[in-house]
Amino acid sequence: MPAELTDDPEKAAHDLTEHGYCLLECPLEESRFRALRDRLEQVRSQEREDGTGYIYDGDNQRVFSLLNKGIEFEELVQEPTVLRLMEEVLGYNFLLSSTHANIAGPGGASMYLHADQTFCRAPWPPYALVANSMWMLDDFTPDNGATRIVPGSHRWGRQPDYLGGEGNHPTVPVCAPAGSVMVFDGRLWHQTGENTTEGQYRRGILNYYCRGYVRQQQNFFVGLDPAVLDRATPRMRRLLGWENYLSLGMLDGLP
């Protein structure tokens, strides 16, 4: 059976281990969720209008470096329920690797099938190096580009064999109402689905995390707006990498 939408962290953790993903009911108050969705729509529209938007595969769009584009996104990467699940997968003092929006536009093509830790050479260790969370800002449906997955593929410990035809492995859509959160193991094979609608944008935010000794996808030390760091909570500073991971990250040999 596929993972079911739940508000029980224990059930979610079980599904994450068993299926490679889980589905959480919206952990945000309705007002916070509306503010988050409104802010992303403002940024998405502005980047299209001013010509800085990253548009690809038809009308699909990515919005990068969200921490620099609204305090709503800063709050989102620190959401406690999702972080609890990330610790289940990634262990002690994991980091935020990147945060960006993935928007499937009408007529947008599907993405190639992949796992999020394909940067790691084979053989993969028997545990995840990274994990992801997809915040669904719209209903995710089979028609509007819902994330598609190969359930259980996180147990295979490798990326798809594209030469062997596994890039076309059958997938299933992960469908849930707006506000839901899909947390998934970095070894799980997945892809953005094709958006076959005529007028629906399927908006999602991907908050991507990694183990404390893995290089982050986004270079926060160089690219982060200083104002974000100035107001960062202790939790945020840890997620960004401003704390040691055991003996890693020292200054002049001292913690």
Query: Which CA distances in Å does 99 have to 64, 114, 217, 232?
Result: 7, 18, 9, 16
Assess contact for 176 and 23: CB atoms under 8 A.
yes
Q: For residues 88-114, give the mean pLDDT.
A: 97
Q: How confident is the model at residue 33 (pLDDT cuts 50, 70, 90)?
A: very high
Model confidence at 230, pLDDT cuts 50, 70, 90, reads very high
Backbone angles phi, psi at 212, to 5 degrees: -65, -15
Asked if 103 contacts 195 with a C-beta cutoff of 8 angstroms, the reply is: no
Break the chain into its structural domains and give their ranges.
Answer: 5-118+125-240
Beta-strand ranges (E) seen in the chain are: 5-6, 21-24, 54-56, 60-63, 95-104, 130-136, 148-149, 172-173, 181-185, 190-191, 202-210
Contact 20, 155 (CB under 8 A): yes
**Residue 46: pLDDT band by 50, 70, 90 thresholds?**
very high
Instruction: Kindly report the backbone phi and psi dihedral angles of residue 51, in degrees, each rounded to the nearest multiple of 5, phi listed first.
Output: 80, 10
Query: Chain centroid to CA 21: how far?
Result: 12
Give the pLDDT confidence score for residue 253 in this predicted structure.
Answer: 74
Percent of the chain with pLDDT over 90: 95
Confidence of residue 25 (pLDDT cuts 50, 70, 90): very high
d(CA 177, CA 179): 6
Q: Say yes or no to pLDDT of 155 above 80.
A: yes
Report percent pLDDT > 70 for the chain.
99
Count the alpha carbons within 13 Å of 125 in the hemisphere toward its beta carbon.
Answer: 10
Q: Is the pLDDT assigned to residue 1 strictly greater than 90?
A: no
Q: For 88-245, list the strands marked E by DSSP.
A: 95-104, 130-136, 148-149, 172-173, 181-185, 190-191, 202-210
Q: In what order do the strands lie in the sheet with 60-63?
A: 5-6, 21-24, 181-185, 130-136, 202-210, 95-104, 60-63, 54-56
Banded pLDDT at 254 (limits 50, 70, 90): low
- Band (pLDDT 50/70/90 cuts) for residue 187 is very high
CATH topology of domain 5-118+125-240: Jelly Rolls (2.60.120)
pLDDT at 255 over 70: no
What's the alpha-carbon Rg for the chain, to the nearest Å? 18
Q: How far is CA 92 from the centre of its chain?
A: 19
Mean pLDDT of 101-108: 97
Name the pLDDT band for 149 (thresholds 50, 70, 90).
very high
What integer best gives the mean pLDDT of the chain? 96
Q: How far apart are CA 17 and CA 207, in angstroms?
A: 19
